[in-house]
Amino acid sequence: MAPLFSNKRGSNQRFDVNLSILFTELPLLERPAAAAAAGFTAVELWWPWIETPTPEQAELDALKKALDDAGTQLVGLNFYAGALPGPDRGALSIPGEESDRFRANIEVAADFAASVGCKALNALYGNRVEGADPQVQDTLALENLVLAARAADRVGAILLVETLNKPESPLYPLVSAPAAIEVIDKVNTATGLGNAKFLLDIYHLSMNGENVSEVIEAYADKTGHVQIADNPGRGAPGTGSLPLEELLDQLTKAGYDGWVGLEYKAPDAAASFAWLPAEARAAG
């Protein structure tokens, strides 16, 4: 595949690789080096320990060492969200054990982010669950997001809230950009910190049938992180029909200068990066 993005444009944006969806054929601790070998200096992760919000310190230390040894910067990290990929779509709004697990994870995730210089923590809202009043779930979600925002602020990070898509996540309540922005505004009002931001995932927005260009126009100033995949198929840019280069150009013109996470599926991650010039992969 020939490069889709011009060298000039690529140099104006910073791309990172999501190691929870790419290079998954490798053990977790080998993925930072694989990303570095492909030319990237920045990576992001879903919470890697899906079975526990509080892994042993030795596991946290081993991941930090793998990132350091590879020379890769962790620029985004999810709080505990259950089994991803899979049926779970977060824990913070689910009454009982899952919410408790999220709360147990908050300081652990924040402290790990601080140890590796990560400045963005993503909190997936959580599915609607049978037998739980949606209003009760929303109240619980706000309480937990406030706690997460304060923990993120303590370590100099932002809190991200994202929209998923209804076809793939039918029980997830934030399936439009305005729905996520409403939650973000409530968190910022409650904390007074202003560090809750929108994770603008172009793939999820397009799957919901939203006009991505209009979302960018409306919410670029509230966006703290961007993720991309083509649609249909959630593959690399150029495998679908989304005008990703144009949309990212629009974000740049709107003032967004943050990270763009590559959160797409590819059977061969290293080969899938042919769309992006090599010189655009290493962020200065």
Q: Please give the residue that has the higher pLDDT: either 223 or 283.
A: 223
At 85, is the pLDDT very low, low, confident or very high (cuts 50, 70, 90)? confident
Do the domain assignments include residue 172? yes
At 88 the pLDDT is 83
Q: Which of 97, 162, 168, 245 is an active site residue?
A: 162
Do the domain assignments include residue 186? yes
For 91-97, what is the mean pLDDT?
A: 96
Q: Which of 44, 98, 210, 263 is an active site residue?
A: 263
At 16 the pLDDT is 97
At 284 the pLDDT is 59
Contact criterion met (CB below 8 Å) for 53 and 78 = no
Neighbours of 85 (CB within 10 A): 12
At 10 the pLDDT is 43
Do the domain assignments include residue 162? yes
For 14-19, what is the mean pLDDT?
A: 96
For 45-55, what is the mean pLDDT?
A: 97
* 184-207 tens-digit pLDDT: 999 999 999 999 999 999 999 999
Q: Could you confirm whether 25 is annotated as catalytic?
A: no
- Residue whose token pair is 């995730």: 109
Residue numbers of the domain that contains 65: 7-277
- pLDDT for 4 beyond 80: no
Do the domain assignments include residue 175? yes
For 19-28, what is the mean pLDDT?
A: 98
Do the domain assignments include residue 34? yes
At 283 the pLDDT is 76
Please give the tally of structural domains in the chain: 1
At 83 the pLDDT is 85
What is the value of pTM for the model shown?
0.96
Do the domain assignments include residue 2? no
CATH code assigned at 197: 3.20.20.150
Closest CA to 201 of 33, 73, 78, 38: 78
Do the domain assignments include residue 211? yes
Do the domain assignments include residue 192? yes
Q: Could you confirm whether 98 is annotated as catalytic?
A: no
Q: Which amino acid is at 237?
A: P
How many Cα neighbours within 13 Å face the side chain of 133? 4
- pLDDT for 120 beyond 50: yes
- pLDDT for 45 beyond 50: yes
At 5 the pLDDT is 67
- Residue whose token pair is 């049926």: 87
Contact criterion met (CB below 8 Å) for 132 and 92 = no
The two three-digit tokens of residue 112, written as one number = 């790990």
Q: Is the dihedral of CA 281, 213, 174, 234 positive or negative?
A: negative
At 9 the pLDDT is 46
Calculate the alpha carbon distances from 241 to 2, 169, 207 in Å. Answer: 16, 22, 12
- pLDDT for 119 beyond 80: yes
Contact criterion met (CB below 8 Å) for 254 and 222 = no
At 280 the pLDDT is 84
Phi first, then psi, for residue 156 (nearest 5°) are 75, 30
